[in-house]
Amino acid sequence: MIESLVELQNIGKIYWRGDAEETALVSATCSVKPGDRIALVGPSGSGKSTLLHLMGGLDQPSTGSISWPGLGTCENLRPQKVSYIFQMQSLLPPLTVVENVELPLLLGQIEATKARKAALETLNRMRLNTIADKLPEELSGGQAQRVAVARALASRPQLILADEPTGQLDHPTAQHLFDVLLDSLEGSETALVVATHDQAIAERMNTIWQMQHGVMEVVTC
């Protein structure tokens, strides 16, 4: 039996806005296995990002339990076992493209020369080597997100969590970015969970998890 990378049991998440309680997630139970391609769809505020944050260990659940049988403990997930791709521009402004890409490797205490080599290889693979020395402010929105994808891939993680990575891009650019991401993962056991509003992107995944008012429903498997 293949061991799950992450397992969620009756997970609930409540936020407090002052004295008001806001339920973001209600009793979600699911798991992600190696090689999974999962799309998380649903309207804004339905709990997609919350679920991703919990899966990546970026946040703590209010109820239920979460474990990472195939990855280890929560403290050791990032940056090497789990990578994150954010919707908003998340490259560090004072670092060049190659420095941004090698950053998770350095944070994972990979030797500097090896980190640089791996980062350059990733950029080459994604045909971004020409912009390796550019600063984020010198990139277009599409280029910046491609670099963010490269950064997520560089450390060869077992799980990639992408929170609406194409949300700020036009449709062709979004498709192209997704092509790049899927191509890069072709044949790899790295699982991918993508929160998206884009139906076309969702349809390219194996599984779709539908979110509605914090309640999750598996649509396709």
The type of residue at 80 is: Q
84 vs 209 by CB, closer to another protein: 84
Report residue 134 as tokens: 């550019």
77 vs 192 by CB, closer to another protein: 77
User: What gap in Å lies between CA 200 and CA 157, rounded to an integer?
Assistant: 25
Do you find a cis peptide bond into 79, omega within 30 degrees of 0?
A: yes
* In the complex, minimum distance from the CB of residue 136 to another protein, in angstroms, rounded to a whole number: 9
* In the complex, minimum distance from the CB of residue 186 to another protein, in angstroms, rounded to a whole number: 24
* In the complex, minimum distance from the CB of residue 107 to another protein, in angstroms, rounded to a whole number: 5
The one-character DSSP state at 3 is P
* In the complex, minimum distance from the CB of residue 106 to another protein, in angstroms, rounded to a whole number: 6
3 vs 137 by CB, closer to another protein: 137
Q: Helix crossing, 171-185 with 141-154: angle to 10°?
A: 20
User: What gap in Å lies between CA 126 and CA 111, rounded to an integer?
Assistant: 23
Task: Kindly give, in sequence order, each residue whose CB lies less than 8 Å from that of residue 75, ignoring residues fewer than 6 positions away.
Answer: 57
CA atoms within 13 A on the CB side of 14: 8
112 vs 218 by CB, closer to another protein: 112
133 vs 183 by CB, closer to another protein: 133
Report residue 3 as tokens: 């061991």
Query: Which residues are at the interface with another protein (CB under 8 A)?
Result: 53, 58-60, 77-80, 82, 84, 86, 90, 92-96, 99, 102-104, 106-109, 111-112, 135, 137, 151
* In the complex, minimum distance from the CB of residue 45 to another protein, in angstroms, rounded to a whole number: 13
Cα four-point dihedral sign 85, 78, 160, 52: negative
